[in-house]
Amino acid sequence: MLLTTLARRASTALLVLLCACGQKSGSAPKYTTTKVDKGPVIGRVTATGTVSATVTVQVGAQVSGRLQTLNADFNSKVTKGQVLAKLDPSLFEAQVSMAAANEKAALAGLTRAQAQDKDAQRKLARSKVLADQKLVPLADLEGAQAEVEVAQANIQSAEASLAQARAARQQSQVNLAYTTITSPIDGTVVSRAVDVGQTVAASLQAPTLFTIAENLSKMQVDTNVSEADVGKLADGMEASFSVDAFPNRVFKGVIRQIRYAPQVVQNVVTYDAVIDVANDELLLRPGMTANVSFIYARSDDALRVPNAALRFRPDAELMRKVSKPEPGKRLLWVLDGETPTPVPVTLGLSDGTVTVVQGDVSDGALVITDRQSGGDGPKPPTGLGGTSTGGGMRRAF
């Protein structure tokens, strides 16, 4: 009986010792780490944009009328001065004829006024001779003088009427010429908005009939760059982009201009960075959506750490033992054995995944990126038969 009791006590003591050892080993936290390495780090700014022709001209009609003929269609190659369409000229031809008749009538009125002036001048000359000889009263001389003045005023009025008639004729001829719609540039028709027989109304503004791209072999991309990234870009910087139509093709371009005018959409401020692109193969089309990438900095052989390591923070107890880093530096936690050690580092270029660092850290060092939940604190011991003891020992005797 005594031997049995002693054996039970020995078993219990051994179990307590094993549980204590288990608590001590389980109290050490475990971490997820990664190695510091050297490699390239590329700083990029990404944005979306729209492909368009460098020069696009909208061709409209300056007079109203029914479209009589169409000489250009979508994708038509046109040259400067080429006739694209014609409006029915009948009404404008009639207006030209009417204006020409009014001009002739005004010219006839001027001729009559000039003849009347000559007659008044002759009468005034006779009246002066007779008045010098005291053969006519002074009132007759004054009347002849007044007739000359009236005749000269009539000439000025007739000249003004003739000028108005000529201007009206010229305007009617210009309107007639506007019925023939020509291309202002060499290019390609990318849009046509009318058909034959359609009535074009130009009472308030000139309606757009055609849209012509000057040169589709030279395109541009208008990108929306966020205000946080626009300071990293500059004129002349290279850019690359892709379009959905050719997902495996990378197109190259150069920033021509970063425009100052802000574009605000849903309280988000962006700026237009215009990229010049060569389109010799005519693969790019106006209106395509471009996914653009700008490389503003590059480091080919830099000491780099993942950004997750820079975001890691240990528990509060360990943080209280660490002094704050100097201004402009961050703490990088390096795992030395099982002990996290803070190392102040200076941050450099980042590509959003890894960041260049400078400090007392070497290539191949293990930096902590996260804390594993399985090693968080001691595990509760278990009693005999696998039953949890809840932190206390059950008496076995």
Mean pLDDT of 200-204: 84
Between 392 and 107, name the one with better pLDDT: 107
Do 313 and 9 contact (CB within 8 A), yes or no?
no
Q: Which residues of 126-161 are buried (b: 16+ CB within 10 A; e: fewer)?
A: ebeeebeeeebeeeebeebeebbeebbebbeebbeb
Alpha carbons 63 and 61: distance in angstroms, whole number: 6
Give the per-residue pLDDT at 22.
Answer: 44
| 226 C-beta neighbours (distance < 10 Å), count | 13
Q: What is the pLDDT of residues 224-257, one digit of tens each?
A: 999 999 999 999 999 999 999 999 999 999 999 9
Q: Which CATH class is domain 45-54+215-300?
A: mainly beta
Model confidence at 134, pLDDT cuts 50, 70, 90, reads confident
The domain 59-88+179-214 having CATH identifier 2.40.50.100: the answer here is: yes
Alpha carbons 382 and 365: distance in angstroms, whole number: 38
Model confidence at 374, pLDDT cuts 50, 70, 90, reads low
Burial-class residue 377 by CB neighbours within 10 Å (0-12, 13-18, 19+). Answer: exposed
Share of the chain above pLDDT 90, in %: 70
3-state class (DSSP) for residue 229? coil
Q: Comparing 70-84, 91-105, 111-125, 378-392, which segment has the lowest mean pLDDT?
A: 378-392
Q: What is the pLDDT of residues 62-90, one digit of tens each?
A: 999 999 999 999 999 999 999 999 999 99
Mean pLDDT of 356-365: 92
Q: Comparing 46-55, 128-137, 304-313, which segment has the lowest mean pLDDT?
A: 128-137
- Residue 198 has, within 13 A of its CA and on its CB side, a CA count of 13
10 has pLDDT over 50 = no
19 has pLDDT over 50 = no
Give the per-residue pLDDT at 191.
Answer: 94
389 has pLDDT over 90 = no
387 has pLDDT over 60 = no
C-alpha dist (Å) from residue 90 to 95, 96, 167: 9, 10, 20
Give the per-residue pLDDT at 14.
Answer: 43
H or E, element range at 116: helix 90-132
Give the per-residue pLDDT at 258.
Answer: 97
Share of the chain above pLDDT 70, in %: 87
Give the per-residue pLDDT at 242.
Answer: 97
Angle at 110 between CA 106 and CA 116, to 5 degrees: 140
3 has pLDDT over 60 = no
Give the per-residue pLDDT at 1.
Answer: 42
Quote the DSSP letter at residue 105. Answer: H
Do 253 and 241 contact (CB within 8 A), yes or no?
yes
Mean pLDDT of 305-329: 87
287 has pLDDT over 70 = yes
17 has pLDDT over 70 = no
Give the per-residue pLDDT at 320.
Answer: 83
Do 308 and 350 contact (CB within 8 A), yes or no?
no
Mean pLDDT of 271-283: 96
